[in-house]
Amino acid sequence: MAINKTEQMKKIMEEILNLKKSPLYAERIKNKAFPVIGEGDCDAEIVFVGEAPGKNEAKTGKPFCGASGRVLDELLDSIKLKREDVYVTNIVKDRPTANRDPSKDEIKIYGPFLDKQIEIIQPKIIATLGRYSAEYIMKRFGLEEEIETIGKMRGKAFEVKTSYGLVKIIPLLHPAVALYNSFSRDDLKKDFKVLENR
């Protein structure tokens, strides 16, 4: 009998909880923090991939639960989607020290867990949030030739063949940009419109 998707996700969670080879593991234990595995519908058509958890996420174990999360919810609302209709995760599952960008080594360690999650969910769309996740997913699906700056790629759809069918990769700006630049909120909403044509 096939293991259901929730059980498969639990298995990934157990592996990450015991991921002692990660340089972020000791930091997590020291800070009594949580890894952030992901949250949402395991049968979702859309998977959102961020970069790494921030302080609020590490405290709760939930992805995008701080100020960036409120922006993400607003963007989802603008295209008539609820958080529970999609799956939200990050490449790196533990918080990098002092909210710095994830390192190449950290992305290499945690990337395979994201790959498994995508294989379990089998989404029609993978929407990346920010340049690190865009680059990782584009490379992962053989789109190296298409990689440009996130400013040039944002809001474009790239179609790829996977083991379970066609998937659209849609690079988007990270919701956090709206917190630092009020003009970008409208740009984000415009880019999110691409997700309506699923």
Model confidence at 11: pLDDT above 80: yes
pLDDT of residue 1: 38
Domain that holds residue 27: 5-197
The band of 97, judged by pLDDT with boundaries at 50, 70 and 90, is: confident
* Tokens at 6, concatenated: 């929730």
Express each pLDDT in 137-175 by its tens digit: 999 999 999 999 999 999 999 999 999 999 999 999 999
The band of 181, judged by pLDDT with boundaries at 50, 70 and 90, is: confident
How many domains are there within the chain?
Answer: 1
Record the pTM.
0.94
CATH number, domain of 184, equals: 3.40.470.10
Q: State the Cα–Cα distance between residues 87 and 114, nearest whole angstrom.
A: 12
